Structure 1
Amino acid sequence: MIDFKKRISSGKDNKKTDPLELYKTLDRKSVAGPLRQAQEYILNEWFQNHHDDKDLIIKLHTGEGKTLIGLLILQSMINSKEGPCLYVCPNIYLVSQVCAEAEKFGIPYCCIGDDRQIPDEFMSGEKILISHVHKIFNGKSIFGIDNNYVHVGAIVLDDSHACVDVIKEAFTITISKNDNKDLYQKIISLFNDDLTEQGEGSFLDIQSGDYETFMPVPYWSWIDKRTEMLKILSDYSSDNSIQYVWPLMRDKIKEYCCYISGNTIEISPYNPNVNTFGSFSKSKHRILMSATTQDDAFFIKGLLFSADAVKYPLVNSSQKWSGEKMIILPSLINDECDRDLVVTKFSKRKNNSFGMVALVPNTKRQDHYRSLGAICTDRRNIFDEIGKLKRGVFDRLVVINNRYDGIDLPDESCRVLIIDSLPFFNSLSDKYEEKCRPDSEIIYKKIAQKIEQGIGRGVRGEKDYCAILVVGSDIVKFMRSVTTNKYFSAQTQKQIDIGLEIAKISQEDQEPGDSPIKPVMSLIQQMLKRDEGWKEYYTNEMDSIESTTSNATIYDKLLEESRMEILYCNGEYQKASDEMQKFINNFSGNDLDKGWYLQQLARYIYPIAKDKSIQLQKSAFISNPQLLKPKIGIEYSKVSYINENRLKRIRSFLKKYNDYNELVLEIDELLDYLSFGMESEKFESALKIIGELMGYISQRPDKEFRKGPDNLWCIANNEYSFFECKNEVAETRVEISKSEAGQMNNHCAWFEEQYGKDTKVNRFLIIPTKDLSSNANFTHDVRIIRRGTLKFLKDNIKSFIAELKSYDLSDITDDTLQRFLDLHKLNPSNLLDTYSEEYYHKSR
């Protein structure tokens, strides 16, 4: 055999480091053609101007070949002797796809085998190691933690937004009541008194197994009882839910917080410290792959990335958009084409030509589709069902629950995508932040990001196309409102604008007698048949996108938050407190957000000044009653009817909205939330605002003061109605339990204590059944509001709002308002006579 290497002049290294030249030398398969223009631009720009960057974000449109770009950059690093090089996928399923790409292009690679050993070819810098994020980021990682870690020269995170979520999970202990009841109960018992003090009613719901209700353990209780908590967790440290997190948190428990629901306990860090994983944090080059529609701000806290890398990513600015997304908003085309109609139509529809997929935020939404005949996925069958779609096996609508990233549905695998309702946050820590600061820029960005991830599932390339039906009043409002629309990328904003315009055109083109969904189906058909007019219109509109500069304020804010949290974690409590105080002094947000940061300040200072911490927590709670109730100093503030009439209050409520359409968006969302099965926080919040709409003084004593009923309306001078909401209990519930009756009795006693026995009050229990258990009793008169009467109330409110369409909201007369209130039965007496009923006491 001839040794050709001897013919090569000694000392000459023929390995190419320029990725464009390198690509020409690869033993590619015949199907692998030349690099695309976008790939050439990014690779050349990286090699010429970013080769030495430690932190770099590469933003690409879907379908522009980011996997090959990442592999070529790493191969260039290997050829430059800058290995070992690591390519990280967001899940194990994508590893095989990346390996197939490397095989296709002739790029040497290796994987971690069944022996769980790191390959020698990786360690020696010969081959790229392709793995997934779970393998690297866990407390028992074979790559090591803290100072004992495998040195990596360059690391690429593919689909890095999905990776950030997985990394946060790596630091989080999730204890299921079903899987480990003993451990769950021990933790509940440890914090029993603390949680009761925070909210007796909520804690009773948790004890009864209500999985939607959750409570944070006060940080002072967590810190004071940390030794007892560590002993409990240590005894269970070999449990599957703990063992991979235990090495990361056992010596850092002060940096963690705890949330408890009726079926889950979540223990998570305030800010995951990726410095624990030296293979990533100390890598010479860290490259994140990100979609052009995604906001990368959360890499600053989530991955401790430099703010400059986030502000100035590597992008191909010559291409403004990619793919064709026809966003359709059915409810804006026809009021009757609501979520229920769209879900029913598509769940029952059979189709053999292309895939249809729905993304839903929770199991309750998914169950609705299941009852109508759709295919519902879970962990066990999701990738099988997606595989069928990709193989062209089409039949019925496929429903995916609360998964907005990591799923590719190109071409015929998904031509119709339903985005159903506003996405929910998965973790209790995220849910807590959303509850405490729902209108913050941080929350809006997170929600917009999830929506954009979902929208992107059905369009995976430059020539791909998909009809995207957006249903649910909450998500329609979010996408349409000027307050929240701005948090989407320029590309998505333009696609929403197109959706709003075609909704307006479709409204004008409707013929009398047409079914409400006919215009929607017509639009889908135009897209599927590749209507030239639509294609040209879409292209012209998308080409008009103007480049926008990112708002650097949030980057600086997240950088500050991260820096302060690191100070606290390092035990520099005074420094962390001083920096947070400066941050608050310069803060320009609303009271809810200010309260949020005051609570962080109170937590920072608690280890060194408990009295001051209590006073700060009191200030935080006054600014934002959704936060932790301080140990002392909060007294209940009674509501009373201020001397102005009800109609004036209603007019004041209506004047908050710029026009009728804005009012309708708000009311539709509220009425959606005011539904059985909706999570309690949204239901009770909606009921509070509905009370204000009806001209009453409205309060949530249980949330605002941690005592009393869920909702309280002052409907006239010294006349009240209060509500206990059990909207989340199963609709098949046959009776009102003894504990629920006892809870209602406690609220009755509380009201008498605060307002006196002679004060007129109507007491309402919102629950699916009117039958009171034989072993239970009410101490006072109680009225029941069930599904039927609640729906009747909602319908009448909607009809009342519809009457206002032709009026100027700022100039409606008292006579007009009162006439509409009478017509639609929205006066105080109607609560008793029309919308509630007596309970039935079962005999023993």
Structure 2
Amino acid sequence: MPFFIPDEDESKYNDTIDLFNKLGKLERLSHEQGESLKEYELNRDNKTDFAIEMPAGHGKTLVGGLISEYNRINNNWRVIYACATRQLANQTHQLLDLYGISSVLLTGKGENFSQIDLGKYQRSEAICVTTYGHIFNINPKFNDSNLIIFDDAHATEYAINDFWSVDINRHEYSDIFEALVSTLGDSLSPNVYDKLIHGTYDPMTDGVDIVSFPQWYKKSDSIRSLLDSRTDDTKLYYPWSRIRNSLHSCQIFVNHSNIVIKPIIPPNKVHQAFVNPQERIYMSATIGKSGELERMFGVQGIHYINKFSNHSNKVSGRRLIMFPEDHFEGEELERVVKETAIKSNRALILTPSKKSMRKVKETKEKLLPEFTLFENSDIEDDLTKFTDEDNAILALTGRYEGIDLKGDECKLEIIHDLPVAISIEEKFLQDRLNATELLNSKLSTRIIQGLGRCTRSKNDSSVVLFTGKYVGDYLYKDEFINLLPADVHAEMNLGFNQIDFIKDIESWHTSIEEFNNETDWKKVENYLEKQESKLMEEKQMDSSNENAVQLYNSTNHEIEFIYNLWNEDFSKAHISANETLTKLGRNETLKGYRAWWNYLIACVSTLQRDEDKTRKYLTKSLNASDNKVWLDKRDINFSDEIQDEIYSEDLELQIERISNYLKSFGDREKKFDKDWAKIIDGLRSKEAQFYEPALKSLGTILGFYAEKPPNEEGVPDGVWNINNIWISLEAKTNIEDEDTYIPLDDIRQVFVHKKWVKEEYNLENEEKVTLVMVCPKYKIKDTSQHAAEGIYLVSTEDIIELATNLEGILRSGLNELKYGVKSNLRKLLISSLYEKHLTPEHILDNFTRKELAQLVD
């Protein structure tokens, strides 16, 4: 017979567990898998969104697959199983096949999809395994599904962020970037505008700024017109088309190389491919407790399913965690990193940003030019390109989930720069508002996920090195490390304990060899197991986290806010924001986040054209902020009740930068001691190769934008800038006899620096530039006087005295952070800087006391 007649009694299943039993591919479900499936079925009548937490190696793909297959067969649903990469999608497709679950793999360009496989999905004959990009797409291929499974759900934030963000990179779209800066014009605060125009954004200290909504929104038509005309035929076209009619729902963020326009929470429920399904399920090895998933996906009411102990081990295997930058510095640090990589053969490096990745590439080329470098795109389809290669580095940006390196495939992992903030608004909240409590849970989740990349089973082991930014800000603080599961906490503590024990390179390598070879490791393993048990008991006894509870309770109102705002219901948006503030309460540790939500109410008030209310909430925002620089003061009426005295922009910027510098050490006083000793040694040296970098470091720590230009003729040895203060420094320190005259050629060399600084930094005129010679000599000949006009002399001892006074302030600040009240740091710095005459204005005064032309002998 040429036709197939289907069986009218085709199998249906009582539930997901019945399906598992009849598939017969595996012997049994684990207790946690079975209980997770039962809870899902019990609650699905009144819930649409489920988050299922299952630690790595505990079979979350099987759970997701059973839910998918049950609904496909019993309900005739079209099911999407979405993964982070093509490689993971392929891996998931193979696993589902192993379990006896029908699936098709549809990745790559939609135009190249197999029409046969696409038809199977459309007829509900097979689950479609694909990537997030086919959901979060301006023209999604799958906008008719009934169920979406988001595998490794936290990894979706990158696709979502890209979908809703117009990210104008200064290098890739220089014409659009410059035109937008011009269009924004005076809506940029003077501080931000100057940094953009003069190129003095310091990526290490300046972070992310926000363009004040009350200032820029009045130019929204001009912004829309500009981007309409400039984004055609660029990658910006599609995200711009998503938000162009909803600029009232967006904020504009700026840093040294990007201008980003985006809503603060993704309004995914206006995107049909996301909102159409009857159910969405978010699978993850670690689900936070502060509402991260809700904010990430823009949904409310997610039902959480977790059948594992809250404090049970979330990462399989065993890690030796170490902190090389606390053991070594300079050439020793470079050597130990190089040798560790060579001995390991392959290394995985995780970074949070393109900027961090550029640093990794530079270091790799310097230290390991013979190693092959693989990046995200190289392993999109297949990890074996990396795992089959000797002397290889896999360096990934923003990939803390979805990489499985098991057994001996990779035994070294380097986490460079902690992933405190991934999206630009997270970076803003971190850099400007110190909203660390909001980011703590996200960071702990990313660290837990990242640590499991090279230990996929209980028998796997890996060396993990933490390097770069924010290590001291978070990992060395009890309030953060207590958020980590007991096994990771114990491994971290072991790493901390080695800092004062391992003091030479030989001991470093011996420790790693003993770990990898398991020689003399049993004693350490016993210690770690005891520590884990002890820590788990402590965490179970102290399971409350007031900050996490308050942040979770505010989530629904935050999400209501973004949809009310998107729909231009400004009154309801104001109510939602007020409810958010109520839920956040008066908790001192959440004051930065309260400042943010007061600012957002001011944005709504701007849309309502209520200037009095706008000023009122901007004032509230300023009062709640420790950092006073981020908010454009032009929008604030200073006759209103300002709780803290507001100082000059120069001083406020200096306070912010010094505060961030101090916070970067956490409790690592010995790291500060090492770093500071290196600066003082440099400032006491006569040799330019040591003195000039130390002078730059001193300027940076003082809160200036500080640069050491290249060693070229006619170029100063240093430039310090803070707003309208420009100091050009020429160091003449390699002096044998201090009692001789300063040579005329040296004086003439300084004089030409004004023009160089003006042209290099695009200044309107060179009169803003103060010329300073740093030199232990103290006199000139009368024949040199004509060339010395407008140049000032600062002795090397004056610089040492300045550094000594600064050291006392820094140590007091570190003590306040460690033993005192963190919110008092600002007041301490202000009073100390005034007392020691180290404000920017004082420093300029001190540097201009001695006019070189008046030192004729």
Instruction: Give yes or no for TM over 0.5.
Output: yes
* Inter-partner Cα distance in structure 2 for 1:671 and 1:62: 44
In 2: Cα distance, 1:67 partner to 1:371 partner? 41
**1:522 corresponding residue in structure 2:** 510
Partner of 2:415: 419
Per the alignment, residue 523 of structure 2 pairs with: 533
Q: Find the counterpart in structure 1 of residue 157 from structure 2.
A: 164
User: Aligned ranges for residues 765-780 of structure 1 at < 5 Å?
Assistant: 780=790
Deviation (angstroms), 1:69: 1.9
CA contact (8 A) 1:595 1:619 kept: yes
In structure 2, the CA distance between the partners of 1:142 and 1:468, relative to structure 1 (3 Å rule), is same
Whether the aligned pair in 2 keeps the contact of 1:92 and 1:132 (CA below 8 Å) is: yes
Q: In structure 1, the residue corresponding to 2:237 is in which secondary structure?
A: coil
Equivalent AA in structure 2 for residue 258 of structure 1: I
One-letter amino acid of the counterpart of residue 600, structure 2: Q
The amino acid that maps onto 2:328 is C
TM-score (norm 1): 0.72
1:225 maps to 219
Partner of 2:120, secondary structure, is helix
Q: Which residue of 1 aligns with 2:561?
A: 564
Distance of aligned partners of 1:248 and 1:559 in 2 relative to their CA distance in 1, 3 Å threshold: same
Matches within 5 A, 1:54-133: 54-81=48-75, 83-112=77-106, 114-115=111-112, 119-133=118-132
Paired residues of 2:348 and 2:412 also in contact (CA < 8 A) = yes
2:239 paired with 1:240:
no
Cα pair distance change 1:801/1:620, threshold 3 Å: closer
Partner deviation per Cα, 1:466-506 (whole Å, 9 max, x = no partner): 122234574145212123323434443343234345x27x7
The more displaced of 282-291 and 262-271 is 262-271
CA distance in 2, matches of 1:464, 1:795: 51
Contact 1:95–1:132, Cα closer than 8 Å, also in 2? yes
User: Which of 329, 338, 345 is residue 336 of structure 2 equivalent to?
Assistant: 345
How far residue 785 of structure 1 moved from its aligned partner, in angstroms, is: 12
Which ranges of structure 2 fall in alignment gaps of 5 or more residues? 639-645, 652-658, 683-689, 706-719, 729-754, 776-786, 821-836, 853-857
1:744-799: CA deviations, max 9, x gaps? 967679xxxxxxxxxxx98999xxxxxxxxxxx9995467999xx99x9699969x
Moved more, 449-458 or 272-281: 449-458
Aligned counterparts of 2:565 and 2:323: Cα–Cα separation in 1: 49
Aligned to 1:723: none
Structure 1: distance between partners of 2:697 and 2:28: 53
Distance 2:443 2:790 in 1: 43
CA distance in 1, matches of 2:847, 2:185: 37
Q: Could you say if the C-alpha distance between residues 278 and 381 of structure 1 is closer, same or farther in structure 2, counting changes exceeding 3 Å?
A: closer
2:434 corresponds in structure 1 to 438
Query: How far off is 1:584 after superposition?
Result: 4.0
**Does 1:628 find its partner at 2:631?**
yes
- SS across alignment from 2:149: strand
2:364 to 361, 369, 378: 369
CA positional deviation for 1:666: 6.4
User: SS in structure 2 opposite 1:15?
Assistant: coil
1:77 offset after TM fit, Å?
A: 1.2
Percent identity over paired residues: 17
The whole-number CA distance in structure 1 between the counterparts of 2:241 and 2:359 is 36
Deviation (angstroms), 1:670:
8.9
2:782 maps to what in 1?
A: none
How far apart are 1:273 and its partner, in Å?
0.3
Shift of 1:162: 0.6
- Aligned partner of 1:554 in structure 2 is 551
- Asked if the contact 1:300–1:306 (Cα under 8 Å) also holds between the matched residues in 2, the reply is yes
Preserved contact between residue 330 and residue 470 of structure 1 (Cα < 8 Å) = yes
> What secondary structure, in the 3-state scheme, does the structure 2 residue paired with 1:83 have?
coil
Post-superposition CA distance 1:625-655 (Å, at most 9, x none): 23231335578746999xxxxxxxxxxx9xx
Stretch moving more, 659-668 or 91-100 = 659-668
Shift of 1:371: 0.7
1:196 and 1:688 map into 2 onto residues whose CA distance is 19
| CA distance in 1 between partners of 2:398 and 2:847 (Å) | 34
Provide the residue aligned with 1:356 in structure 2. Answer: 347
After TM superposition, the structure 1 = structure 2 runs for residues 449-468 of structure 1, keeping only pairs within 5 Å, are 449-468=445-464
Q: Which amino acid aligns with 1:223?
A: Y
Equivalent position amino acid for 2:507 in 1:
P
Amino acid at match of 2:348: V
Deviations 1:494-545 (A, max 9, x none): 43234345x27x72xx7xxxx6233332332222123333334333433442
SS of equivalent to 1:345 = helix
CA contact (8 A) 1:17 1:77 kept: no
Distance 1:564 1:707, change over 3 A: farther
What is aligned with 1:136? 135
Deviations 1:227-254 (A, max 9, x none): 2222222224533322322342122121
Aligned pairs for 1:755-794 (under 5 A) are 780-781=790-791
The alpha-carbon deviation at position 600 of structure 1 amounts to 1.3
Q: TM-score, normalised by structure 2?
A: 0.71
Change (3 A) 1:159 1:341: farther
Equivalent residue for 1:687?
Answer: 702
CA shift, 1:167, in A, is 0.9
Aligned to 1:773: none
**Is residue 402 of structure 2 the alignment partner of residue 406 of structure 1?**
yes
Distance 1:253 1:640 in 2: 32
1:448 counterpart = 2:444: yes
Tell me the distance in 1 between the aligned counterparts of 2:255 and 2:789. Answer: 29
Equivalent position to 1:192, from 185, 195, 198: 185
Counterparts of 1:189 and 1:640, CA distance in 2:
24
Aligned to 1:16: 13
Instruction: Within 5 Å, give how 1:318-717 maps onto structure 2.
Output: 320-330=313-323, 336-338=327-329, 341-348=332-339, 351=342, 355-361=346-352, 362=356, 363-373=358-368, 375-381=372-378, 386-391=383-388, 393-395=389-391, 398-401=394-397, 403-423=399-419, 425-472=421-468, 474-501=470-497, 503=498, 507=501, 516-530=504-518, 531-544=521-534, 545-546=536-537, 547=540, 548=543, 551-581=548-578, 583-584=580-581, 586-589=585-588, 592-608=592-608, 609-621=610-622, 623=625, 624-631=627-634, 637=647, 663-664=669-670, 686-688=701-703
Structure 2 partner of 1:820: none
Measured after TM superposition, the shift of residue 437 of structure 1 is 1.6
CA contact (8 A) 2:290 2:552 kept: no
Q: CA deviation at 1:44?
A: 4.8
Give 3-state SS (helix, strand or coil) of 1:216's partner.
strand
- Quick check: 2:387–2:409 contact (8 Å CA) kept in 1? yes
Total equivalences in the alignment: 720
Query: Greater share of helix residues, 1 or 2?
Result: 2
Displacement of 1:109: 1.3
Q: 1:351-374, CA deviations, whole angstroms, 9 ceiling, x for partnerless residues?
A: 577533333450224412321115
Contact 1:404–1:451 under 8 Å retained in 2: yes
Residues 781 and 38 of structure 1, relative CA distance in 2, 3 Å threshold: farther
Could you say if the C-alpha distance between residues 125 and 613 of structure 1 is closer, same or farther in structure 2, counting changes exceeding 3 Å? same
Q: Distance in 1 between matches of 2:28 and 2:428?
A: 49
Change (3 A) 1:394 1:161: same
8 Å CA contact 2:322–2:495 kept in 1: the answer is yes
Moved more, 603-612 or 525-534: 525-534
Contact kept, 8 Å, 1:660 with 1:809, in 2: the verdict is: no
